[in-house]
Amino acid sequence: MMSPGANSREPENVPVILLAGASGYVGGRLISLLENQPLLLRCLARNPDKLRPLVQEAAQIVRGDVLDPASLIEAMRGVDTAYYLVHLMSGSKDFEKEDRQAARNFAEAAKRARVRRLIYLGGLGDSSDMRLSPHLRSRHEVGQILRESGVETIEFRASLVIGTGSLSFDLVKSLTDRLPVMLCPRWLTTPTQPIAVDDVLAYLLAAKDLPPGESRIFEIGSPDVTTYGGMIREYARQKGLRRWLISVPVLTPYLSSLWLALVTPAAFEVGRHLIEGLKNPTVVRDRTALEVFSIRPIGIQEAIQKALACVNE
């Protein structure tokens, strides 16, 4: 079912851009940026009624589920570029299998519809690291499946996205807001290179206008490398909170996820998958994005400042 809003005729000579994941954190913030461009925005949604108030009248909404291949046929019709900002992790125990199947369905539908380009946001991390968490491995695998379809795919790899509403940033916030003393597992010293949500959005938007070419992977991050402990300390400093981080190396990912489930709003399963990924360094090793795009990501301090300003608005 397509809900085209008031404008049921497709404007000619503007590309149709499909946004999968429009109700999510990153996708939801991309909507208004796409709506300001000369294009026709089409959103894929499992629940179109929920999305309708969030988009302009002219935007089309197609009911669809990436686990249901038939529902993707109409969504892909006439599409020039499709954004894949879907994450099945939150609802699923066997997320790796489902994320794989979902990516295959999406890639296959895009190929059949002769979509020109796919744009995907996944996670940083070293693919050759045998200890890469199932969560990060799965994020990389999704990018690979999209590329293997033969449709040109632009994959961005990011670490924690700094912005209010971002699950990983909210985890840092909840922990710091609630616990004056933290017994910290080893993963708090893992190097990471978070990025402000506005910078992620700028990359995603610019990717649709890259000249045609080969599929590419771009690693993106702020100019600062920090640790999860560093994020907590900086967030606490800006909020004027005094926090003590006490290192307890024996805290396993499983135990820390139980602990997180007690103090954070994130669902237990999501917390566990995220925590498993925190043991892996997520830093930018390939800086090509800085050569190809004119985007200059802001530092972590400023990104946290902006996120806090959003909360206080």
Closest CB to ligand NAP among residues 16, 30: 30
Q: Measured at CB, which residue is nearest to ligand NAP?
A: 24
CB of 259 to ligand NAP, least distance (A): 20
- For the bound state, the minimum distance from the C-beta of residue 49 to ligand NAP, rounded and expressed in Å, comes to 11
In whole angstroms, how close is the CB of 159 to ligand NAP at the nearest point? 6
Q: Which is nearer to ligand NAP, 166 or 215 (CB)?
A: 166
Q: Which is nearer to ligand NAP, 85 or 182 (CB)?
A: 85
Q: Which residue, 52 or 248, has its beta carbon nearer to ligand NAP?
A: 52
Q: From the CB of 15, what's the least distance to ligand NAP, in Å?
A: 22
171 contacts 264 by C-beta, under 8 angstroms? yes
Choice between 89 and 182, CB closer to ligand NAP: 89
CB of 244 to ligand NAP, least distance (A): 26
Instruction: Extract long-range pairs of 128-131: CB within 8 Å, 24+ residues apart.
Output: 129/280, 131/279, 131/280
* Contact residues: ligand NAP, CB under 6 A: 20-21, 23-27, 46-47, 65-67, 85-88, 90, 102, 121-123, 139, 158, 160-161, 166-168
